[in-house]
Structure 1
């Protein structure tokens, strides 16, 4: 990854910062489910996100792939238009604090709102809420994403391994 300003100061910088391989831990809360153990789940996962910033009709694209799952292409169009795989999905908004908000309108009338922000270049947080037509919360989740970075290769000198420090 090339050197970039941090935190991102515009939507294109934000999308570019999303590029990479991510390890995720997501906690999900089903607010409409009763019982002591059924309302909460946690899962680990991996995501590969590729950013393309070249189309004049869009700010950029995020191509998202989870292992064993289909690829989704999120297109961040001008004026806050958000689409997935060519279909209108909702709206996006970049906030002055460097975070991105996605509002997805499902056909059943549920609004899913996700806020994504970077704590560090390699640490990203996501919170998601889903509310019904009346504004009643149905689901919530919180996700911590850590970018995979390659380890520095040990240096060899005269058959000995020298491990760089720092």
Structure 2
């Protein structure tokens, strides 16, 4: 008797290329954003009555896998809103990535999450992406200043859009 599970790729992916390929698709997103360092009470409101430190928004995100530019490369992603400008991220096998004119580091953790870190301009942005199921992924981002104080953070839950199979007319 053959073992069907041995033919299935591991989930979550254990290699960066497989992780990036799993990211490809159209995603419905719900993102909550928080301004952690900017909460300053004014004369008229108590800090707990202010509502401008957080917001939530829905959106659609399109992610395309980009084949590696060089042999042994990990590949890349083109990411952007459905009706907007996208950006490209190119990953190298040595744990570095490029996004526009910014360079960062990536690490695929044993728990199956991918962490991206960009440091510069007196701040660090750390993003973690993980899948709970192949069609459900979560993302968290935290920006800190040089002293280590948090500034902004966000959390996104994203559901992959899947199309129904077409049924032939009889």
- Normalised by the size of structure 1, how large is the TM-score? 0.85
Q: Pick from 10, 15, 18: which aligns with 1:10? A: 15
Is there any run of 5+ residues in structure 1 with no aligned partner, and where? 158-166
Equivalence for 1:93: 107
Equivalence for 2:30: 25
Q: Pick from 51, 71, 74: which aligns with 1:59? A: 74
Would you say 1:132 and 2:145 are equivalent positions? Answer: yes
Equivalence for 2:124: 111
Paired with 2:67 and 2:21, the residues of 1 have a C-alpha distance of 8
Secondary structure of the residue that 1:12 maps to in structure 2? helix
Q: What is the Cα-based RMSD across aligned positions, in Å? A: 1.6
Secondary structure of the residue that 2:147 maps to in structure 1? coil
Label 1:23 to 1:121 Cα distance change in 2 as closer, same or farther (>3 A): same
Is there any run of 5+ residues in structure 2 with no aligned partner, and where? 1-7, 40-46
Would you say 1:72 and 2:80 are equivalent positions? Answer: no
Please list the CA deviations of residues 82-139 of structure 1 after superposition, one character each: whole Å capped at 9, or x if unmatched: 1013x332111111111100001242x1101001000000000001111000000111
Paired with 1:144 and 1:102, the residues of 2 have a C-alpha distance of 17
Deviation of residue 155 (structure 1)? 5.2
- More strand by percentage: 1
Please list the CA deviations of residues 4-24 of structure 1 after superposition, one character each: whole Å capped at 9, or x if unmatched: 431111111100100100110
Q: Is the 8 A contact 2:116 2:127 kept in 1?
A: yes
Paired with 1:151 and 1:134, the residues of 2 have a C-alpha distance of 50
Q: Is the 8 A contact 1:29 1:39 kept in 2?
A: yes
Would you say 1:83 and 2:88 are equivalent positions? Answer: no
